[in-house]
Structure 1
Amino acid sequence: MLTDREPALKRELSLVEVTLTGVGSILGAGIYVLVGKAAGLAGNLVWLSFLFAGTAASLSALSYMELASMYPRAGAEYEFVRRAFGEKVGLLVGLLIIYVVVITASAVALGFGGYYSSLFGAGILEGAIGVLLLLGFVMFYGIKESARLAILITLIEFSGLLIIIYIGIPFLGTVNYFEMTSFSGVFEASALIFFAFLGFEDIVRLAQETKDPEKTTPKALILAIFTTVILYVCVAVVAVSVLNYRTLGVSAAPLAEIATVVLGDKAFVLLSWIALFSTVNTVLVVMLGGSRIIYGMAASGSLPNILSRIHPSRGTPWISILGVVGLSILFVFLRDIATVANISNFMIFIVFIMVNLSLIKLRYTEPEKRRPFRVPLSIGKFPIPPALGALSALFLFTQLSAMVMAYGFALVGVGFVLVFLKTRKKNKTLKQA
């Protein structure tokens, strides 16, 4: 546990900085890669898949807003679920988040390695490890510097999506936007591209480094989610307007191919550069949020205390950062981004279900707790949006493939074993005391 004499995280992030950091996390590698695969599943109705996934994410985001205003701590999901369902369930959810961070960071780092290799001829593995180490140093150096780098890259990748929308305007209306492969394909695409909306929760994980977090964090969540939902739907409409959805479905670089159709081969290089920066931003913000989850769990005593150490001069949780970077490097051999994205989705659907249920339970068990932000629309004490958020996450969970389910449940099984060993050790310590 932390003591009053130990260094604390610095509250340096403003509303603009934390919002743009969150937007940068959401506008990551997912949209640059997965829009093609999603179009192949859903057809021209892929825009509805994005809208459905965005709505489902928004419902859960509302729960995050209220819970973050109640408990503005770095532990985020772990802290919320622990308060509602106890230490064991909270620890399991925290471990699932760590899975998401490590798997996502390593896979997207390999995506960086692929772009880096195509542009410079270097090895993919070297590029992936190099970017993980470089971003690890940036995170160690300071939260302000990390956030500013994320904001800079966010503006670059945001401009890339605006370019796609702009060049696609002349093609609008050239296809039937209600043509689809099947209803199941539309929802399967929603489950896949939910990955492209992940990242808003990183705003909550930075709460202990945000100025006036009880008010700032909910505002940043609203702004980040609204911006990205509108942007994604526009990109989806443009994508199927320029290229046939079947062509998009087999493309490894769908947005770069769209730019090539309209602007020529040089545009492919331009969009490849923007996608390169996009992967950097995803890795940076995912690891940034993940290191804070580990720090928060360690500070609460659920992980080894050494992981809660803060560097005395830099004010960053440097041991947690080293842990995230090290584990991510070990997992760089996971190469299939669609499979990896869905494994991350498997974990995050469970987490979102638990976060929404936590809010519902805490409305009854802690009704007097101060809530600077309160989710609207309730029947008595029962809040409706969290219930819809849990149901939508559960529905998307059922759309995952059998292979993804197998991977996911295997990792959850490992999580159960770790929780059992941790609680058993804790109980032995208490008995000896």
Structure 2
Amino acid sequence: MVELQRTLSLWQVTFMSVGIILGAGIYVIIGEAAGLSGNSIWLSFLIAAFVATLTALSYAELSSIFPKAGAEYVYIENSFGNRAAWIVAWLLLLGSVIGGATVAMGFAQYFSAIFHTPVIPVALLLLFVIIIILIVGVQQTAKLTIVFTAIEISGLAIVIFIGIPFIGSVNYLQAAQGFKGIIEAGILIFFGYLGFEGITRLAEETTNPEKNIPRAIIYSMIITTILYVLVGVSAVSVIPWQELSASQAPLATVAKRIFGDQSFLILSVIALFSTFNTALMFLLTGSRLIYGIAHQEAIPKIFTIVGRRFRTPWVAIVTIVTATMLFLFLGNLKTIANLTNFTIFSVFIFINASVIYFRYKKPTMTGFRIPLHVGRFPVVPFLGILTSVFMIVNLPFDVLIIGVILVVLGVVVDSILNLKYK
């Protein structure tokens, strides 16, 4: 059988991780978040970063022990068994699909702001293009992602530069809806930190994955947190948070205030590259998860098929992108972003619990070790569980209901698959 190739270096996977994180958070969610947190949006970014980092460290530890494309499925299968592993994989696949749909919608909204086109058809066209790129090869995808990430960072640098003369012009502790609004914005912004976990699914295509994957996770979290906080402060310094929250293209609106219509166009084009990049990475890592799960014989072996010419799992790619197209028709950006958060927070509970499990049941395992522990008990994963639970219970009620339905559906699918594939 044709296998995946190890060609990705540390700096490539780091850039890929930075690229997927930056696109979703800044260019799509910042307007909605500003409406909840007001000028305190920088606090919401820090809260989201803190919560994400707790679990990012758990991913770093587990990825150094199990450098497999199946990533989370493999971690949970080795700690809590097949049923729990499938539920986690099911939620992650939903997260990849819904997250990809969210960012594709963000791309289409910016495209619409420039060319006045309908949103759904543009999002569909984007996903068709992504299928072609992903099938052509991971090294080609990595090179494209690095270029797009450089463009993303340049756009954020413009926003930060614009805001420098305005620093100190507003009260940065002013909160539109009080501390509750800051927390709700942090939950929404958390969507903007998604991406570090996806890099673990490229382990079978990365050189020296036991060391390079954990490093890429940590480096990308540091880089993106610094950029996010600076952009958040700059944005609310230049324009009122009310205007930011009402804009369909919030960061482009910030640039327009200073440099006029031309800068609005430039930032909107950069946002297109950014959201394109994030959607590409969501679906790249999601397709590798499908491939990895199939290798564990949890789903049909057809998903392990790798094309001889491009050495990519084309069946898994076509499947996940097609599923993403269906979620475009939910339409409400905030709802589908929060659904993504529900799936990811639920998975993070299992991931952090797995680290605790391995510290007690298999203490001799070697690899990256999270600092801070009391005896064998690791403090950071425990905090990761607590914060993930807190984030879930603070999601909108309708999102929780839909999320529970999706979990139940996953159990049903597992029962059906269990008859034949496990």
TM-score by length of structure 2 reads 0.97
Return the alpha-carbon distance in structure 1 between the equivalents of residues 266 and 55 of structure 2: 35
2:33 is aligned, of 38, 45, 61, to: 38
Query: Deviations along 1:58-91, whole A, 9 cap, x unmatched?
Result: 1100000010000000011111111110000001
1:101 is aligned, of 96, 99, 103, to: 96
Query: Deviations along 1:319-369, whole A, 9 cap, x unmatched?
Result: 101111111122221222111110000110001111000111111111122
Return the alpha-carbon distance in structure 1 between the equivalents of residues 229 and 116 of structure 2: 34
**Structure 2 residue 411 is the aligned partner of structure 1 residue 410:** no
* Other-structure match for 1:59: 54
Return the alpha-carbon distance in structure 1 between the equivalents of residues 411 and 23 of structure 2: 30
**Structure 2 residue 186 is the aligned partner of structure 1 residue 195:** no
**SS state at 1:45 partner:** helix
1:79 is aligned, of 74, 81, 86, to: 74
**What's the CA shift for 1:115?**
2.6
Q: Structure 1 vs Structure 2: percent identity of aligned residues?
A: 46
Q: Which amino acid aligns with 1:422?
A: L
* Other-structure match for 1:184: 180
* Other-structure match for 1:28: 23
Query: Deviations along 1:355-398, whole A, 9 cap, x unmatched?
Result: 00011111111112222x11111111111111111111111112
**SS state at 1:241 partner:** helix
1:106–1:334 CA contact under 8 A, matched in 2: no
Return the alpha-carbon distance in structure 2 between the equivalents of residues 407 and 247 of structure 1: 31
Q: Which amino acid aligns with 2:72?
A: E
2:113–2:248 CA contact under 8 A, matched in 1: no
Q: Alpha carbons of 1:328 and 1:185: their partners in 2 closer, same or farther (altered >3 Å)? A: same
Return the alpha-carbon distance in structure 1 between the equivalents of residues 390 and 106 of structure 2: 29
* Other-structure match for 2:366: 370
1:229 is aligned, of 221, 225, 228, to: 225
* Other-structure match for 1:348: 344
1:299–1:308 CA contact under 8 A, matched in 2: yes
**What's the CA shift for 1:30?**
2.5
Unaligned runs of 5+ residues in structure 2 are: none
Return the alpha-carbon distance in structure 2 between the equivalents of residues 249 and 122 of structure 1: 22
**What's the CA shift for 1:242?**
1.1
**Structure 2 residue 309 is the aligned partner of structure 1 residue 313:** yes
Q: Which moved more, 1:83-92 or 1:414-423?
A: 414-423
**What's the CA shift for 1:46?**
1.3
* Other-structure match for 1:3: none
1:44–1:240 CA contact under 8 A, matched in 2: yes
1:107–1:334 CA contact under 8 A, matched in 2: no
Over aligned residues, Cα RMSD in angstroms? 1.3
Return the alpha-carbon distance in structure 2 between the equivalents of residues 36 and 385 of structure 1: 31
Return the alpha-carbon distance in structure 2 between the equivalents of residues 75 and 162 of structure 1: 36
**Structure 2 residue 211 is the aligned partner of structure 1 residue 204:** no
* Other-structure match for 1:68: 63
Alignment of 1:145-164 (within 5 A): 145-164=140-159
TM-score by length of structure 1 reads 0.95
1:91 is aligned, of 79, 86, 91, to: 86
Return the alpha-carbon distance in structure 2 between the equivalents of residues 283 and 410 of structure 1: 25
* Other-structure match for 1:290: 286
Return the alpha-carbon distance in structure 1 between the equivalents of residues 184 and 134 of structure 2: 35
